[in-house]
A and B are shown apart, each in its own frame.
Chain A
Amino acid sequence: MKIAVLVKLVPDTASQIRLNQEKSWIETRDLNWVLNPYDEYAVEEALKIAAEKGGDVTVITYGKDEAVEALRKALAMGANGAILIKKEGYTDLLGTAEALAKVLKEKAFDLIFAGLKAVDDDCAAIGPMIATIMDIPCITEITKLEVGDGQVTAQRDIEGGHESIQASTPCLLTAQKGLNEPRYPSLKGIMMAKKKTVEILEGEHVEPRVETLSLSYPPERAPGKIVGEGLDAVPELVRLLREEARVIE
């Protein structure tokens, strides 16, 4: 089985994100970069399936030279191959999906995994966009997966419950938390990852069809108050919620 996993390098979720001086982009200098947490679930699931059913796992990213770091992290977890599709400048969502879909089509994978969302742009869009471009089935936000012969059955959460969905392969799946527990790369894995070669492809540059107008910090929350300590504070809290905040009757 040929399995692809789409991965992205993102700032660590614990990062304080600051804007640059011109407020035209985020300040990237002091950030700690990690493999997108949702992509870790995707890589883990792919590795598990490859181990159970036989096959190999190729991790793919569309990005600048630095993005190779995401590939290294996934290789260290155990992926067999890696592809960097080089991009220049800024691309829009559709451009990213098109660039990835082009390579995915050529390489003819049986299963393609992506993360539910990248925790930088929080779009949750690339997976279903690629599947639509490729015209293959896609199940998003999966929390459970069974792979059979030429088909998969996945579970996904919906509001107030979950649903179980079947699709034939090739198909694309986006990984949600709960799917598995991603492994930590072993020291040996990290050493091996450094030696594995990364295939480099030139991506076509598509001019972004969106314009970023401005970046800002979220509105500050008004300073709150400590109502009090212990049980004595409860009646006052209730009074404030009723009379000041007016959020309860």
Chain B
Amino acid sequence: MFTDKVEAKDFAKMDPEYQDLLRRIITIQSDCEIGGPHLYVEKMLPNAPTKLDQLLVARTAAEEVDHYRKFARLAGDIGVDVSFVLSQPNQKRYVEAFRGTITTWEDFAVFGFLIDRIGRYQLEEFIGCTYAPIEPLLPDIINEELGHIDYGATQTTELLTKGDESREKVQKAIDTWYIKGLDMFGRSESRRSERYCHWGIKRRTNAQARDAYMKEVEPLIKGMGLKVPDPLKGRKYL
């Protein structure tokens, strides 16, 4: 396994496989960062339940745009222009969970609770990454993602106090996003996932990260009095 630290100036000297994998993962990360606002800004910013929520939606979007900016700069350092993802239609996003539109507050809340948490997992994969310039970006970005997760969890919990109809809508959102979320980790038998680990770009395989996520999130869903969806039903990437 490769453990050296690589600086931007040495990137071009690296094995072509390392270069390809790093270019790919930074492009996907940039796409995911900007993909969030593309899902919810249009409908949720004008329609969040209160003025404060509207402002917090705007702040969340601002932070995601900033995360995109930081990864785009990192991409630029290795000769990759990721600005095409800024105008990419949602249907063309790299990760399926971002190929749509969020139109309800239940979906927005659960998206924060479940999917921003996966954002945190994706970022935590880079802790100790052999590509040295990534690590200094992580603390601030992860901290902001923690804020999004907390806000999503709080909003989800609040929705559950609003009666049976609201609870049903939240459960439906959990059913949707939990499955989309598990798919976000990719296939368990992915060869590429092993190569990321081999080159020290990621810490864990897809399967290891997904298992850790499930162990974290299932008690949280149950703790809200909700049902954990069948983790295999409706999955596209096993």
Is the A/B pair a real complex?
no
